[in-house]
Amino acid sequence: MTSRTIFAACASGLLLLTGACGGSEQGTSEGDVGDATTTSDVTTMTGLSAVAPWARPADAGKNTAVYLELANTRPEGDSLTGVRSAAAERTELHESVMEGETMRMRPMIGVALPSGGRIVFRPMGPHVMLLRLRDPLVPGDTVEVTFDFASGRSLAVRAGVRAP
Amino acid sequence: MRPLVVITLLVLSIVGCAERPWHGIVRSPADPAPALVLAGAADLPVTRIRLDSFRGEVVVLYFGYTHCPDVCPTTLADWARAKRALGADTTGIRWIFVSVDPTRDSPAEAHGYARQFDPAFSGTAPTDAELALLLKDWAIAAYPEGDPRTPDYTVAHPAYTFVVDADGRFRLMIPPGVRADDIADDLRRLR
Ligand SMILES: [Cu+2]
């Protein structure tokens, strides 16, 4: 099954998605980067940028995901060490992976972001997971997440909530 | 073998090859679907499921959990798009989300969750005993990961959407990532 092969390739490449898995080749028809209905933020700070962030609606107490692209245009490499958000009890970096016929999630720790590289968070793949939302997220809301990097930098991103 | 038979077989094989491909994985042979009997909530009859009572309808099934942040909502959103792609006439297709996380999901919660994606979807959750039985009958895996005593465990669950045809045969497994239009295309052919 080719879609499965693509999926496996995407999932296993621990996310430094340079090209192949990054842009248009996304299995599902949702979550296209740059969709006009997101807040279309491009948040930039000292060469780190977040493109087209969006979050899925969910009820209070439930879990949801935030998707976006992080890019590093600095001459030096960096590494994503964590993420936090006041919107949820816990916030983690996760990756959905298909193993055989089973879907699992596993935590991602320390994702490299070399100079010129990017990390793509997308449905059925890497995602920022918000655990136990303090308030419901409904379309039109925004949710703020902050990414922390090994260099000591951090990047606060506001993601628009939209139904996929 | 008589020439006519040979020619007929030849023609059939060519026609067979020319048949347009399915987007899901076709199960061959298409055996009768395993049983799926869930008591549901007494005060919410829609959560009571007897798969063999849906003969005459195509049944689209997913085994997931409502705390699933990524894969389950992506799949159910794809279903909703597929349903819209089928147009106004969506009779003959039943869409059912079955939770494999009875610790956190009640039948009513699972139903409310499924309905958020499309009001025609239904959901339910098994008891622990029903879950053990359905995993065995369907030969699928679902298990908590992380500490199940905390509220934040995740649940490994089947990746595929399962499709049972109107004759009750387990016909298709639709992998994650199949486009909604293609899901609709497969369902149209089965209905
Ligand atoms: Cu996750």
Residue ranges covered by each domain of chain A: 3-161
- CA distance linking residue B48 with residue B2, whole number of Å: 55
Whether residues B159 and A101 touch (CB distance < 8 A) is answered with: yes
**Chosen from B65, B68, B71 to mutate, greatest number of chain A CBs within 10 A:** B71
Q: Which residue of A has its CA nearest to B152?
A: A131
Q: Which helix (H) or strand (E) holds A112?
A: strand A111-113
Of the candidates A28, A62, A101, which has its C-beta nearest B74's C-beta? A28
> Does the pLDDT at position A9 exceed 90?
no
Positions of chain B with pLDDT under 50: none
Instruction: Give B67 Cα–ligand 1 centroid separation in angstroms.
Output: 9
Q: Using an 8 Å Cβ cutoff, are A120 and A19 in contact?
A: no
Q: Using an 8 Å Cβ cutoff, are B92 and B137 in contact?
A: no
Residue where the block lists tokens 């089965």: B190
- Judged by a CB distance cut-off of 8 A, whether residue A7 touches chain B is yes
Residue A96's SS3 state is: strand
pLDDT at A14: 34
pLDDT at B89: 79
pLDDT at B84: 95
pLDDT at B19: 75
- Judged by a CB distance cut-off of 8 A, whether residue A36 touches chain B is no
Find the chain B residues whose C-beta atoms sit closer than 8 A to any C-beta of A: 25, 66-71, 73-74, 77-78, 81, 116, 140-142, 145, 151-152, 154, 156-160, 173, 175-181
pLDDT at A30: 36
Q: Tell me the three-class secondary structure of B136-188, residue by residue.
A: HHHCCCCEEECCCCCCCCEEEEECCEEEECCCCEEEEEECCCCCHHHHHHHHH
Could you please report the per-residue DSSP string of chain B? --HHHHHHHHHHHHHHHHSPPPSSEEPSS-PBPPP-EE--BTTBGGG-EEGGGGTTSEEEEEEE-TT-SSHHHHHHHHHHHHHHHT-S--TTEEEEEEES-TTT--HHHHHHHHHHH-TT-EEE---HHHHHHHHHHHT---EEES-TTSTT-EEEEE-SEEEE-TTSBEEEEE-TT--HHHHHHHHHHH-
Percentage of residues in chain B with pLDDT exceeding 70? 91
Of the candidates B25, B152, B156, which has its C-beta nearest A1's C-beta? B25
Q: Residues near B35 by Cβ (< 8 Å), separated by ≥ 6?
A: B51, B52, B137
Q: Which residue of B has its CA nearest to A133?
A: B67
- Judged by a CB distance cut-off of 8 A, whether residue A164 touches chain B is yes
> Does the pLDDT at position A6 exceed 90?
no
Could you please report the per-residue DSSP string of A48-60? EEEEEEEE--B-T
Distances A98 to A48, A105, B160, B161, B176 between C-alpha atoms, Å: 30, 9, 10, 14, 9
Whether residues A58 and B141 touch (CB distance < 8 A) is answered with: no
User: From the CA of A78, how many Å to the nearest CA of chain B?
Assistant: 26
Q: Domain A3-161 falls in which CATH fold? A: Immunoglobulin-like (2.60.40)
- CA distance linking residue A55 with residue A120, whole number of Å: 14
pLDDT at A15: 36
For chain B, the C-alpha Rg in angstroms (whole number) is 19
User: From the CA of B179, how many Å to the nearest CA of chain A?
Assistant: 6
Of the candidates B70, B81, B152, which has its C-beta nearest A127's C-beta? B70
Residue A79's SS3 state is: strand
Q: Using an 8 Å Cβ cutoff, are A68 and A53 in contact?
A: yes
- CA distance linking residue A123 with residue A28, whole number of Å: 7
Q: Which residue of B has its CA nearest to A65?
A: B69
Residues linked to residue A90 through DSSP beta bridges, in sequence order? A131
Q: Using an 8 Å Cβ cutoff, are A31 and A159 in contact?
A: no
DSSP letter at A124? T
- Which ipTM score applies to this complex? 0.84
Which pLDDT tens digit goes with each residue over A51-100?
999 999 999 999 999 999 999 999 999 999 999 999 999 999 999 999 99
- CA distance linking residue B49 with residue A62, whole number of Å: 25
pLDDT at B91: 87
Of the candidates B77, B156, B179, which has its C-beta nearest A104's C-beta? B156
> Does the pLDDT at position A12 exceed 90?
no
Q: Which residue of B has its CA nearest to A124?
A: B71
